[in-house]
């Protein structure tokens, strides 16, 4: 692998980790709201969270671009407050990868939380447990394998993200080029050897991540 | 212990309930057929189910929806042993028992484990315990939190006659040793006669009267039920019969 390919590899892994880290807490909060609370409009939020799963990724990227571009609501604020540009810089990549991972993470986290019997949490409260203590000592330990599987699944999804990244971050070699973007570029330029190498690396990475996610879930299943 | 419920109204799907009742004594009970709303009422007292109305325990207001008071379960000082026991599956017996341990003057974990015959099982996971041991862990866990009232949902359900007697004897022993007032839920008159004084008759989401456990057979549920009627108070002995027998 040449230095450019190696850079794309570590940049992708780093941005996927950062993206998952960026959305992990919001994803947990959303999953908790969906799993543990009943409120009007819940089904609307449920659908909205799942939307990026079925929307064309390019459309997700466009929404993010409208939000995070220099004239966008959040992008304009970030530029004014910190002088940061997000769209078409490396900063856009973790955001796009995180956005792609979010719906899968929310789903996995929700399943993990729903697997914890609410009665255990209730009894813990009658024993004097406050909400944070119950979360830390009952909910999280019992849901941990499902939560871990959700994190790894989100990471796997982020590794392969293309559409939203290309719209929000562009395909700038040495700046925003992830494995998926580098692969596209190699195919477009007819560099078959490079495309094959990037393809193999992508497969190994994705396979490893999915395997770990399945393993985390599998070993958590009760007999 | 004196527990008062005034206009306690709760709904779960099509099931609607309204309770007005007062129970007093060291060990009292809710009695009624399956599906009559006993567990729902227990959960309302523990603060696990939202409802309107007033609930007072020994004069302390646990909730008063008219005045916007609602104490969360952790501040009510009410222990709860649900029918399925709800042992924490990822914690060993010692950690289960000690979950609500507050320290400072209460019974210590070792003494309760000893009294419950669990001293040699402290490091075992709940999945390795027998049915009887699981019940004892759930009871010990609730007792160690030093509750002002302990709610027991069908403590002898699904047990054969021998085990039922053992559990009833254990409850009597624990009650005597730790002096924690009990509120039991049951649909078995024999169980209540061996444990309780006051018994509230619950049917169809209403309390149709309060009787003594001894007089239970004389007040079958359908005859006692008068929907909408205020709770009927029948003569109650000063001490629960089983306590009397032990003194």
One digit per residue, the tens of pLDDT, for chain A of length 223 reads 788 889 999 999 999 999 999 999 999 999 999 998 888 889 999 999 999 899 999 999 999 999 999 888 899 999 899 988 999 999 999 999 999 999 999 999 999 999 999 999 999 999 999 999 999 999 999 999 999 999 999 999 999 999 999 999 998 888 899 999 999 999 999 999 999 999 999 999 999 988 888 888 775 444 3
Q: Is the per-residue pLDDT at B13 higher than 60?
A: yes
Report the DSSP pairing between strands B182-186 and B149-153. parallel
**Number of neighbours of residue B15 by Cβ within 10 angstroms:** 13
Across A83-92, B14-23, B163-172, least confident range: B163-172
Q: Is the per-residue pLDDT at B103 higher than 70?
A: no
The answer to whether the CB of B3 falls within 8 A of the CB of B183 is yes
Interface test with B, best of A38, A124, A128, A137 (most B CBs within 10 A): A128
Helix or strand or coil: residue B150? strand
Which residues of chain B does A135 touch, with a Cβ-Cβ cutoff of 8 Å?
Answer: none
A105 domain-assigned:
yes
Quick check: B141 and A127 CB within 8 A? yes
Please name the residue of chain B whose CA is at the shortest distance from the CA of residue A134: B99
Selection from A10, A177, A171, A16 nearest residue A95 by Cα: A16
Q: Is the per-residue pLDDT at B219 higher than 60?
A: no
pLDDT of residue B218: 56
B142 domain-assigned:
no
Asked if ipTM goes beyond 0.95, one says: no
Quick check: A127 and B84 CB within 8 A? no
Please name the residue of chain A whose CA is at the shortest distance from the CA of residue B43: A122
pLDDT of residue B116: 87
pLDDT of residue A223: 39
The answer to whether the CB of A90 falls within 8 A of the CB of A165 is no
B217 domain-assigned:
yes
Domain CATH for A69: 1.10.3720.10
A223 domain-assigned:
no
Which residues of chain A does B90 touch, with a Cβ-Cβ cutoff of 8 Å?
Answer: 141-142
Residues belonging to chain A with any Cβ–Cβ distance to chain B shorter than 8 Å? 117, 119-120, 122-130, 137-138, 141-142
User: What would the mean pLDDT of B165-170 be, rounded to a whole number?
Assistant: 77
Helix or strand or coil: residue A130? coil
How many domains are there within chain A? 1
Q: Is the per-residue pLDDT at B224 higher than 70?
A: no
Q: Is the per-residue pLDDT at B40 higher than 50?
A: yes
pLDDT of residue B247: 28
Domain CATH for B35: 3.40.50.300
Instruction: For residue A178, give its domain range.
Output: 3-218
Which residues of chain A does B86 touch, with a Cβ-Cβ cutoff of 8 Å?
Answer: 117, 119-120, 122-123
pLDDT of residue B106: 66
Q: What percentage of chain B carries pLDDT values higher than 90?
A: 43
**How does residue B37 score in pLDDT terms, banded at 50, 70 and 90?**
confident
pLDDT in tens, A152-170: 999 999 999 999 999 999 9
How many domains are there within chain B? 1
pLDDT of residue A93: 96
Quick check: B89 and A142 CB within 8 A? yes
A112 domain-assigned:
yes
Q: How many CA atoms lie within 13 A of B209 on its CB side?
A: 19
pLDDT of residue B105: 64
Q: Is the per-residue pLDDT at B238 higher than 90?
A: no
Please give the structure tokens belonging to residue B11. 């709904």
Which residues of chain B does A122 touch, with a Cβ-Cβ cutoff of 8 Å?
Answer: 46, 48, 73, 80, 86
Residues belonging to chain B with any Cβ–Cβ distance to chain A shorter than 8 Å? 46-48, 72-74, 76, 78-80, 82, 84, 86, 88-90, 99-100, 102, 141-142, 145, 147
Residue A184: which H helix or E strand, with range?
helix A179-188
Helix or strand or coil: residue B28? strand
Q: Residues of B201-211 as b/e, b for ≥16 C-beta within 10 angstroms?
A: bbbbbbbbbbb
Which residues of chain B does A123 touch, with a Cβ-Cβ cutoff of 8 Å?
Answer: 80, 82, 86
Q: What percentage of chain B carries pLDDT values higher than 70?
A: 85
pLDDT in tens, A59-80: 999 999 999 998 888 999 998 9
Q: How far apart are CA A48 and CA A45, in angstroms?
A: 5
pLDDT in tens, B176-213: 777 889 999 987 787 787 778 889 998 888 888 888 88
Which ranges of B22-129 would DSSP assign to H, the alpha helix? Answer: 38-46, 73-76, 93-98, 109-115
Rounded (to 5) percent helix, strand, coil in chain B: 35, 25, 40
Q: How far apart are CA B242 and CA B199, in angstroms?
A: 14
pLDDT of residue A58: 95
pLDDT of residue B245: 37
How far is the CA of A141 from the CAs of A70, A112, A154, B187, in angstroms?
42, 11, 20, 36
pLDDT of residue B134: 92
Burial of B83 (0-12, 13-18, 19+ CB in 10 A): middle
Cβ contacts from A onto B, under 8 A:
55
pLDDT of residue B239: 39
Instruction: For residue B71, give its domain range.
Output: 2-77+148-155+180-246
Higher pLDDT, B169 or A48: A48
User: What would the mean pLDDT of B6-14 be, rounded to a whole number?
Assistant: 88
Q: How far apart are CA A161 and CA B3, in angstroms?
A: 60
Helix or strand or coil: residue A13? helix
Quick check: A125 and B73 CB within 8 A? yes
pLDDT of residue B170: 80
Higher pLDDT, B173 or A100: A100
Quick check: A126 and B86 CB within 8 A? no
Q: How far apart are CA A117 and CA A158, in angstroms?
A: 31
Quick check: B142 and A127 CB within 8 A? yes
**How does residue B246 score in pLDDT terms, banded at 50, 70 and 90?**
very low
Q: Residues of A167-203 as b/e, b for ≥16 C-beta within 10 angstroms?
A: bbbbbeeeebbbbbbbbbbbeeeeeeebbebbeebbe
Selection from B184, B87, B185, B195 nearest residue B135 by Cα: B87
Q: How far apart are CA A38 and CA A130, in angstroms?
A: 21
Q: Is the per-residue pLDDT at B165 higher than 80?
A: no
Across A92-106, B56-70, B213-227, least confident range: B213-227
């Amino acid at each position: 692998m040449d230095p450019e390919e190696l850079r794309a590899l570590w940049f992708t892994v780093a941005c996927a980790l950062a993206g998952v880290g960026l959305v992990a807490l919001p994803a947990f909060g959303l999953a908790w709201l969906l799993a543990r609370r009943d409120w009007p409009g819940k089904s609307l939020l449920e659908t909205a969270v799942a939307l990026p799963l079925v929307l064309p990724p390019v459309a997700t990227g466009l929404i993010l671009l409208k939000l995070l571009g220099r004239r966008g609501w959040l992008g304009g604020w970030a530029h004014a407050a910190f002088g940061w540009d997000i769209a078409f810089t490396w900063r856009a990549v973790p955001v796009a990868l995180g956005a792609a991972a979010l719906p899968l993470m929310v789903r996995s986290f929700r399943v993990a939380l729903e697997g914890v019997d609410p009665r255990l949490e209730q009894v813990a409260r009658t024993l004097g447990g406050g909400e944070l203590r119950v979360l830390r000592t009952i909910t999280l330990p019992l849901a941990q394998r499902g939560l871990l599987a959700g994190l790894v699944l989100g990471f796997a999804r982020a590794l392969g993200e293309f559409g939203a990244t290309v719209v929000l971050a562009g395909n700038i070699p040495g700046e925003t080029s992830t494995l998926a973007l580098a692969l596209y570029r190699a195919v477009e330029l007819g560099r078959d050897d490079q495309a094959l190498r990037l393809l193999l690396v992508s497969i190994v990475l994705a396979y490893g991540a999915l395997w770990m996610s399945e393993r985390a879930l599998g070993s958590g299943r009760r007999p | 212990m004196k527990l008062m419920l005034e206009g306690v109204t709760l709904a779960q799907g099509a099931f609607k309930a309204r309770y007005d009742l007062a129970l007093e004594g060291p060990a009292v009970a809710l009695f009624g057929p399956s599906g009559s709303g006993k567990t729902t009422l227990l959960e309302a007292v523990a603060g696990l189910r939202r409802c309107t109305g007033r609930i007072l325990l020994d004069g302390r207001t646990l909730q008063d929806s008219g005045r916007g008071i609602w104490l969360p379960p952790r501040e009510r000082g009410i222990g709860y042993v649900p029918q399925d026991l709800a042992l924490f599956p990822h914690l060993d017996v010692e950690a289960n028992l000690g979950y609500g341990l507050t320290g400072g003057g209460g019974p210590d974990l070792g003494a309760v484990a000893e009294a419950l015959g669990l001293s040699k099982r402290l490091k075992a996971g709940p999945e390795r315990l027998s049915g009887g041991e699981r019940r004892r862990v759930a009871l010990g866990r609730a007792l160690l939190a030093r509750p002002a009232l302990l709610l027991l949902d069908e403590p002898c359900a699904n047990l054969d006659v021998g085990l039922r007697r053992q559990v009833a004897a254990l409850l009597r022993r624990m009650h005597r040793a730790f002096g924690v007032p009990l509120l039991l839920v049951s649909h078995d008159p024999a169980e209540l006669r061996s444990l309780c004084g006051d018994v509230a008759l619950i049917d169809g989401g209403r309390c149709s009267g309060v009787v003594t456990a001894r007089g239970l057979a004389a007040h079958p549920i359908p005859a006692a039920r008068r929907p909408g009627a205020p709770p009927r108070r029948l003569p109650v002995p000063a001490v629960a019969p089983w306590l009397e027998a032990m003194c």
